Amino acid sequence: MKRILVVSYSQSGQLNEIIDNFLKPFESVTIERVDIIPEKEFVFPWSSTSFFDTMPDTVLEKKINILPFVSQFKVYDLIIFGYQPWFLSPSLPATALLLDPEFLAVLNNTPVVTVIGARNMWINSQKRVVQRINDAGGRIVANIPFIDRHQNLISALSILHWMLTAKKNRKWGILPLPGVSDKDIKNASILGLPVHKALQKGEYNGLQQRILESRLIDIHPSVMFIEMRAKRLFVIWANLIVRKGTNEKKRAFWVALYKYYLFVALFFVSPIVLFIYNFLIKPLTGRSVRKNKELFLYLGIVR
Ligand SMILES: Cc1cc2nc3c(=O)[nH]c(=O)nc-3n(C[C@H](O)[C@H](O)[C@H](O)COP(=O)(O)O)c2cc1C
């Protein structure tokens, strides 16, 4: 019987729900599930201060303490790694796991499927995850990102509402429900099927293509356009906050400044940039958009 290891962290439970559904086709398989547990819990709901204060450590990939990673076996046929991006980087618990020597030892020589539960910007974080998994000798065979499909600004507002209240409901009674839709969460089992088949055959070539053929996964060009530019700015801000925030008061000041910068960038600058992009740049760059999409949907996957 095939044996798989499923490792994940989920603060609200959304990603675990996705993974529960994703694993439905894996009936004839021994599944070991391990939760990543931070020593110091990330309180949910977040306060506005704690939410934005998490940015520098997350972007600079600081190692937080997690409970030691323990698995029953040293070797698995497949690892499913579930994680979420925070500030265009792997979440702090995900980074901590990817720095844990015990986990890295299990990764070595093992096929890995990443399952992401994001708002809509996961490309930069996946680049880092791919790099860390490759460095450990693991082999990415598929990546399955689940996103909030609503318009970028709408989903930013609704997710922030959810994160700051722990209520996955409609903000002001009018915004759409935040996060990955119930339909997409349920459909995760559809995407589990080809992975299960590949596992049974021990053959992962063409797996990502079969997953993409479901047409349940896509990258929106304008979201990709923003994400490709935003990470550099986040790194600058993260370093600035660490350098200038030498005591609690100074750090709070710089974090607040970043928060207002983000607000202005998201709600005032990005609509103008996107207007220019959609009407002037995108029509002339159709081929490179398609090329980038393909590149990101296959990050680290050998075809
Ligand atoms: C601090 C923080 C930062 C986040 N940053 C991003 C991001 O950069 N890109 C994105 O797509 N989603 C982002 N999200 C949403 C998460 O990726 C995730 O979808 C949400 O937190 C629910 O995940 P859960 O299963 O851990 O509850 C962020 C969430 C938090 C809490």
Q: Is pLDDT of 303 > 90?
A: no
Rounded Cα gap, residues 114 and 85, in angstroms: 12
CA 171–ligand 1 middle distance (angstroms): 17
Rounded Cα gap, residues 143 and 100, in angstroms: 21
Say which DSSP state 282 is in: G
Share of the chain above pLDDT 70, in %: 100
Quote the tokens at residue 181.
Answer: 């839709």
CA 83–ligand 1 middle distance (angstroms): 9
Instruction: Report which residue type is found at 134.
Output: N
Is the CB of residue 258 below 6 angstroms from any atom belonging to ligand 1? no
Using alpha carbons, list the distances in angstroms from residue 4 to 24, 142, 186, 226: 13, 15, 21, 36
Instruction: Report which residue type is found at 198.
Output: A
Determine the pLDDT at residue 145: 98
Using alpha carbons, list the distances in angstroms from residue 111 to 4, 141, 142, 241: 10, 6, 9, 38
Alpha helices in 2-87 (DSSP H): 14-22, 48-59
The predicted-structure confidence for 92-138, as pLDDT tens digits, reads as follows 999 999 999 999 999 999 999 999 999 999 999 999 999 999 999 99
Burial class (CB in 10 A: 0-12, 13-18, 19+), 260: exposed
Residue 150's nearest CA partner among 187, 183, 179 is 179
Atom 4, ligand 1: which residue's CA is nearest?
86
Phi-psi region of 239 (alpha: psi -120 to 50; beta: other; left: phi over 0): alpha
Q: State the average pLDDT over residues 201-210.
A: 98
The predicted-structure confidence for 127-178, as pLDDT tens digits, reads as follows 999 999 999 999 999 999 999 999 999 999 999 999 999 999 999 999 999 9
Is the CB of residue 86 below 6 angstroms from any atom belonging to ligand 1? yes
Q: State the average pLDDT over residues 215-222.
A: 95
With cut-offs at 50, 70 and 90, classify the pLDDT of residue 285: confident
CA 43–ligand 1 middle distance (angstroms): 14
Rounded Cα gap, residues 78 and 23, in angstroms: 13
CA 159–ligand 1 middle distance (angstroms): 8
The answer to whether 125 and 85 have CB atoms below 8 angstroms apart is yes
Share of the chain above pLDDT 90, in %: 94
For a mutational test of ligand 1's pocket, the pick from 10, 55, 84, i.e. the residue with the most ligand atoms closer than 8 A to its C-beta, is 84
Is the CB of residue 185 below 6 angstroms from any atom belonging to ligand 1? no
Atom 2, ligand 1: which residue's CA is nearest?
86
Is the CB of residue 55 below 6 angstroms from any atom belonging to ligand 1? no
Quote the tokens at residue 35.
Answer: 């939760």
Instruction: Report which residue type is found at 170.
Output: R
Ligand 1 atom nearest the C-alpha of 88 is 8
CA 250–ligand 1 middle distance (angstroms): 26
